[in-house]
């Protein structure tokens, strides 16, 4: 049942009171788009996301421009948005060069991105897992010395398109390495969207056993098999309070075949608000933003909530 485009609120017990949404639409969402979106449109997208109440908006990546041409305008984009009040703007940095570029523009939140599998480390970073961790260690240290907050992504936590099942201890090894380097936060990536809720709970429990506290863990689900919300609910039950999502369900990873869009932020907000969990997000404004972005990309949003809310009056 909807009341003025909002879900009916029926809380469930033992869930967090508030969830911090780490919005990745402008980075993970757009990075796979073939047609280059102008920096001014990206900036407008980010401003609209902020206006909808999102306070952590991953802005772009300082990666090699040939590897991700869509985000080659990071230097142009970042100054257009860096004055947004009260908004955290994390950016991805794959190495020292990326960190130098980000710090030169005044970025104060950066994310390194590791892989739990060798195949994806090679495809995404042109390094083995251990080589990429060796690249990250001084980057994390230097970012911390510069006063930046550092997130450590771990991709392919639940399955890999080349290697199949990924042993949990392999994921835990990369997570603990990033923790030991000094990352403030980890984000567990289900890059190809194959996770199911029991698998999520098993990984979270193992990480706790390995002394990775739940309050430093975020979850990053892609929605390939329609499991992203179920997986999120499992993570919330475990106590996770940081959830990555992409406005309108945009997304995919150019270096992982079969990666589709992230969990749509609107679908997440609908569930969280229905559970009485605060997010600070205005669902109507967010939906309008995704409809606006979909028009620029010339394709409808895959988010069920965006579709339902934008068609409800027709
Ligand atoms: P490489 O070819 O091994 O680079 O790529 P290199 O270190 O050998 O350097 C080669 C040249 O690139 C040098 O220039 C460097 O200066 C330059 P030259 O001396 O030949 O003129 N270079 C750079 N230029 C600009 N910015 C940089 C940079 N680094 C080197 N940062 C590299 C290695 C890491 C650069 C490359 O593999 C890369 O850029 N990869 C990025 C891939 C990417 O962005 N993937 C998507 C994000 S991850 C993701 O989506 C998953 C996530 O959402 C979680 C999930 O869903 O699981 C986070
Ligand atoms: Mg991703």
Pocket test for ligand 1, best of 26, 32, 63, 64 (most atoms within 8 A of CB): 64
Which atom of ligand 1 is nearest the CA belonging to 253?
Answer: 50
CB contact set of 49 (below 8 Å; sequence gap of 6+): 23, 25, 26, 57, 247, 286, 289
**Who lines ligand 1 at CB under 6 A?**
28, 31, 61-64, 67-68, 92, 94-95, 97-98, 101, 113, 124-126, 153, 155, 189, 191, 220, 222, 253, 255
Residues spanned by the domain of 304: 2-6+16-312
Question: What number does the ligand 1 atom closest to the CA of 187 have?
Answer: 54
Residue 16's closest CA among 298, 231, 243, 292? 243
The residue-averaged pLDDT of 60-81 equals 98
Residue 190 vs residues 41, 181, 196, 219: alpha-carbon distances, Å? 28, 22, 10, 8
- Residues with catalytic annotation? 253
Distance 28 CA to ligand 2 centre (A): 5
Pairwise CA distance, residues 291 & 53, whole Å: 17
**Does the pTM exceed 0.85?**
yes
Domain assignment present for residue 192? The answer is: yes
Taking CA atoms only, the protein residue closest to ligand 1 atom 8 is 126
- Residue 256 pLDDT > 70, yes or no? no
- Average pLDDT of the residues in 273-298: 97
Share of the chain above pLDDT 70, in %: 96
In a domain, 11, yes or no: no
**Residue 25 located in a structural domain:** yes
Q: Which ligand is nearest to the CA of 254?
A: 1
Query: How would residue 314 be classed by pLDDT, with cut points 50, 70 and 90?
Result: very low
Q: Which ligand is closest in space to the CA of residue 188?
A: 1
Distance separating alpha carbons of residues 176 and 156, to the nearest angstrom: 15
The CATH number given to whatever domain includes residue 131 is 3.20.20.70
Residue 189 within a domain: yes
Check whether 10 has a pLDDT greater than 90.
yes
Going from the C-alpha of 178 to that of each of 25, 139, 188, the distances in angstroms are 24, 11, 12
Reply yes or no on whether the pLDDT at 264 is more than 80: yes
Residue percentage of the chain with pLDDT more than 90:
91
Question: Under DSSP, is residue 129 helix (H, G, I), strand (E, B) or coil?
Answer: helix
The mean pLDDT of 153-160, rounded to a whole number, is: 98
Residue 62 Cα: closest atom of ligand 1 = 31
- DSSP bridge partners of 189: 220
Q: What is the mean pLDDT of residues 65-89?
A: 97
Q: How many domains does the chain have?
A: 1
Question: Has residue 1 got a pLDDT over 60?
Answer: no
pLDDT at 297: 92
Per the structure block, which two tokens stand in for 96? Answer: 């020292």
Q: What is the pLDDT of residue 73?
A: 98
Least confident residue range of 184-193, 214-223, 256-265: 256-265
Per the prediction, the chain carries an average pLDDT of 95
Whether pLDDT at 123 is above 70 = yes
Q: How far is the CA of 187 from the centre of ligand 2 (A)?
A: 10
| Res. 91: pLDDT tops 90 | yes
């Amino acid at each position: 049942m909807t009341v003025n485009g909002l879900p009916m609120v029926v809380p469930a017990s033992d869930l967090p009171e508030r969830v911090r949404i780490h919005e990745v639409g402008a980075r993970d969402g757009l990075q796979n788009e073939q047609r280059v979106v102008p920096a001014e449109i990206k900036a407008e997208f980010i401003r609209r996301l902020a206006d909808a109440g999102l306070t952590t908006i991953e802005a772009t990546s300082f990666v090699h421009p040939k590897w991700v041409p869509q985000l080659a305008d990071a230097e142009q984009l970042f100054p257009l948005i860096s004055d947004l009040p009260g908004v955290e703007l994390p950016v991805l940095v794959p190495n020292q060069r990326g960190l130098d570029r980000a710090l030169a523009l005044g970025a104060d939140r950066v994310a390194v991105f590791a892989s739990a599998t060798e195949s994806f480390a090679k495809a995404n970073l042109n390094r083995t897992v251990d080589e990429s961790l060796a690249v990250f260690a001084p980057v994390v240290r230097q970012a911390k010395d510069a006063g930046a907050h550092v997130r450590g992504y771990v991709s392919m936590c639940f399955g890999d398109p080349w290697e199949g099942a990924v042993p949990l201890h392999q994921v835990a090894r990369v997570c603990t390495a990033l923790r030991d380097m000094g990352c403030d936060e980890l984000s567990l990536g289900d890059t190809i969207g194959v996770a199911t809720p029991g698998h999520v709970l098993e990984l979270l429990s193992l990480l706790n056993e390995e002394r990775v506290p739940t309050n430093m863990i975020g979850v990053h689900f892609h929605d390939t098999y329609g499991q992203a919300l179920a997986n999120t609910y499992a993570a919330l039950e475990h106590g996770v309070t940081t959830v990555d999502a992409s406005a309108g369900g945009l997304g995919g990873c150019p270096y992982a075949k079969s990666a589709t869009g992230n969990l749509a932020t609107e679908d997440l907000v609908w569930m969280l608000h229905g559970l009485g969990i605060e997010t600070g997000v205005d669902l109507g404004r967010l939906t309008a933003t995704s409809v606006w972005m979909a028009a620029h990309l010339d394709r409808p949003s895959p988010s069920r909530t965006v579709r339902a809310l934008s068609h409800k009056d027709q």
